[in-house]
Amino acid sequence: MRHRKVLALLGSYLDGELDPRLRDGIEAHLRGCPACSKERDALRAVDALAANARLPQAPPTYWETFAGRVTAGLRGLELPISRKETAMFQDSFIKPERRTATRAVVFPLSLAAHAIIAALLIIFPLLQTGNVPRIEITSAFLAPPPPPPPPPPPPAKKASTSNVKRIKPVQAQTNFEAGKLVAPVEIPDQIAEEQISDVGIEGGVEGGVEGGVIGGVLGGVVGGVLGGVVGEVEAPVRAIGEIKPPRLIKQVDPTYPEIARQARVEGIVILEAQTDLYGRVATMKILRSIPLLDQAALDAVRQWVYEPMIINGRPRGVIFTVTVRFTLK
């Protein structure tokens, strides 16, 4: 252990405040260092002298009357100050003269002078108009764009209708079955234009209607189905049990609303649809609603076409459930 460190720790060593490890190190150093041993003996002698010294004891009333005695001594204390020092301090205090009348005159004059100088600094540059740069103003007139050209005239109609070929009715045997769709045998290359006034055909039935079919029922309606009963419309049936939903022939995909796409809304809209005698969707009712997607589902299902439902040889409307699914890609 170093000599300086031992000297710094001698006081703690003598008081017994060191741990055993440091204490053993100091004792080993003291055995081999005469200077440190001499310093230790001196400190022990001072401790012994302080322990054996007798201090004078103050009387019991000493500290109780200490404050009063100090106050009385300060009151009776007088510091001798010479007259020369008093005069010196009196000369160091300078009291300026109060010139109130002069200030009352000078202050308004100074204020007016400052105002005049400020006004001159503002007005003088405005009076010099020779150095003002010229400002050139260029007027630009914007003419509106020209209107779009008029649309081309419609094509001229045929000069005469005398060359229109008339279609003569031909009694042909129909192979149509009630409630069954049959494709035409031949598709003509060109369909001749007919005049509305010449809709009637030779050999027609008295009391028939325009657009009727040869061999139809008197009193029927245009677009009627063969085998139907005049004046009788049967109620639609609900697709439950043995009655299956009709087969879909034409399907139009719904258009995803842009507001629903931006809001990241998706899901399933369930509708209850009713078809007419021809398989077209007549009425709809929402069973499960998603407000942002309902109208898109209704618009799409309204364009769907189903195969007509035939029950007991007669076409019937069907009530069934339609599910429209909206999924974001």
Instruction: Return the structure tokens found at 308.
Output: 């007509």
Q: How many other C-beta atoms can be found within 10 angstroms of the C-beta atom of residue 306?
A: 22
Determine contact, residues 179/316, Cβ cutoff 8 Å: no
Output the CA angle 126-129-133, nearest 5 degrees. 115
In the chain, the DSSP E strands lie at 237-238, 248-250, 267-275, 281-288, 305-306, 309-311, 314-316, 318-326
Instruction: Return the structure tokens found at 156.
Output: 């001229």
pLDDT of residue 211: 57
Q: Which of 313, 329, 198 is nearest to 261 (CA)?
A: 329
Determine contact, residues 318/239, Cβ cutoff 8 Å: yes
**pTM, 2 dp:** 0.33
How does pLDDT run along the chain (329 residues), one tens digit per residue? Answer: 677 887 788 788 888 888 888 888 888 888 888 888 888 888 888 888 877 776 677 777 777 888 888 888 777 765 555 555 555 555 555 666 677 888 888 999 999 999 999 999 998 888 876 665 666 666 555 667 778 888 888 777 665 555 556 655 555 455 556 556 666 667 777 776 665 544 455 556 655 656 565 556 555 555 555 555 445 667 888 888 888 888 999 999 999 999 998 999 999 999 999 999 889 999 999 999 999 999 999 999 999 999 988 888 888 899 999 999 999 87
H helices, E strands: number in the chain: 8, 8
